Amino acid sequence: MKILVTGGAGYIGSHTCVELLKAGHEIVIVDNLSNSNKKSLHRVQAITEKKLDFYKVDIRDRKALEQVFEKHDINSVVHFAGLKAVGESVEKPLLYYKNNVGGTIILCEVMNKFDVKDIVFSSSATVYGDPHKVPIKEKFPVHPTNPYGRSKLMIEEILNDLNVSDSEWNAILLRYFNPVGAHESGLIGEDPNDIPNNLMPYISQVAVGKLDKLHVFGKDYPTEDGTGVRDYIHVVDLSLGHLNALDKLQENPGVTVYNLGTGEGYSVLEMISTFEKVSGKSIPYDILDRRSGDIAECYADPSLAKKELNWEAKRGIEDMCKDAWHWQKNNPQGYKI
């Protein structure tokens, strides 16, 4: 199959490109490189020893996108392209709606024009907001609490509406929990532009000496050790879920939603101690107040993905920390240099 991967140069996109190529798919990537580096794609080719086609294209650029569809006979789209920083989305909501929602509308219009009606979309557990209980099931109410989360929910609804208007449209909405780790080669991984917002890249940068110490946001949550609990999932397991979703699209499922998580929650302190154990580095930290907007506990019930996609996460917390460290240690400046 020939698959268009939007945002394929990014963190999850580059790992998914590796798995798509390994599975024998042909891939075409569009990315505006606003939050990524082309080097990631050189590394994808080095890992797989396979070729890919890359276009530096913004998905809001209809003409450029149409040229890509004219040149390639695309069967399905895996849609990662989007902005993802929650704090920035609060400061710049219009940018998030324009890029994420506006970009997806143009992508879908171009897909319609070229009669490509199968899409896998990167949604997020953030659409659940603060869940009334855990583990979270797909049918739980959705209450995103920030513009980023709302942009994801709007796109889910747009894809639903498309299917209502034209049943040839199929969309698999994957709600990711907390992707972490890196490819076992240590050649590709997460490379935040700035000081990381998320826990795992922050810990890795403390371990490698780029940052002094970690700030643990809150130790008074109603959890076992008082720190926040999340469902961390190895990025390679998450990437493999997209292959199962592409298979599922062949059954014309309409619109379906799946949680991609492990079903296990780990606290911030457990993450720190596991990282210390696998890396042999100590991670100094201070306890600060809670981060505004954070929730105590969030983990998935991933059983629907197991049942209907025949997918489940296999890699544990030690692998996640080990592979994150391997990437960070080998690439202290990420792709820069």
Q: Which stretches of the chain bind ligand NAD, using CB under 6 A?
A: 6-7, 9-13, 30-36, 58-60, 80-84, 99, 103, 122, 124, 176, 179
Residues 36, 124: Cα–Cα separation, whole Å: 20
In the annotation, is 148 catalytic?
A: yes
Q: Based on the shown chain and the rule CB under 6 A, indicate whether residue 294 belongs to the binding site for ligand UD1.
A: yes
**Segment lying near ligand UD1 (by CB under 6 A), choices 12-20, 105-113, 119-127, 155-163:** 119-127
Q: Based on the shown chain and the rule CB under 6 A, indicate whether residue 291 belongs to the binding site for ligand UD1.
A: yes
Q: Based on the shown chain and the rule CB under 6 A, indicate whether residue 124 belongs to the binding site for ligand UD1.
A: yes
Residues 112, 327: Cα–Cα separation, whole Å: 39
**Among 11, 96, 128, 148, the one annotated catalytic:** 148
Residues 222 and 216: beta-carbon distance below 8 Å: no
Minimum Å gap between C-beta 275 and ligand NAD is: 17
Residues 279, 208: Cα–Cα separation, whole Å: 10
**Closest-CB residue for ligand UD1?**
228
Site for ligand UD1 in 149-188 (CB under 6 A): 178
Minimum Å gap between C-beta 285 and ligand UD1 is: 8
| Binding-site partner at residue 217 among ligand UD1, ligand NAD, none, CB < 5 to 8 Å by type | ligand UD1
In this structure, are strands 229-230 and 266-267 parallel, antiparallel, or unpaired? antiparallel
Nearer to ligand NAD, 118 or 156 (CB): 156
Q: Based on the shown chain and the rule CB under 6 A, indicate whether residue 197 belongs to the binding site for ligand UD1.
A: yes
Residues 20, 41: Cα–Cα separation, whole Å: 13
**Closest-CB residue for ligand NAD?**
10
Residues 6 and 81: beta-carbon distance below 8 Å: yes
Minimum Å gap between C-beta 178 and ligand UD1 is: 5
Angle at 52 between CA 49 and CA 57, to 5 degrees: 150
Which parts of this chain interact with ligand UD1 (CB under 6 A)?
Answer: 86, 124-126, 178, 197-199, 202, 214-217, 228, 230, 268, 291, 293-294
Residues noted as catalytic = 148
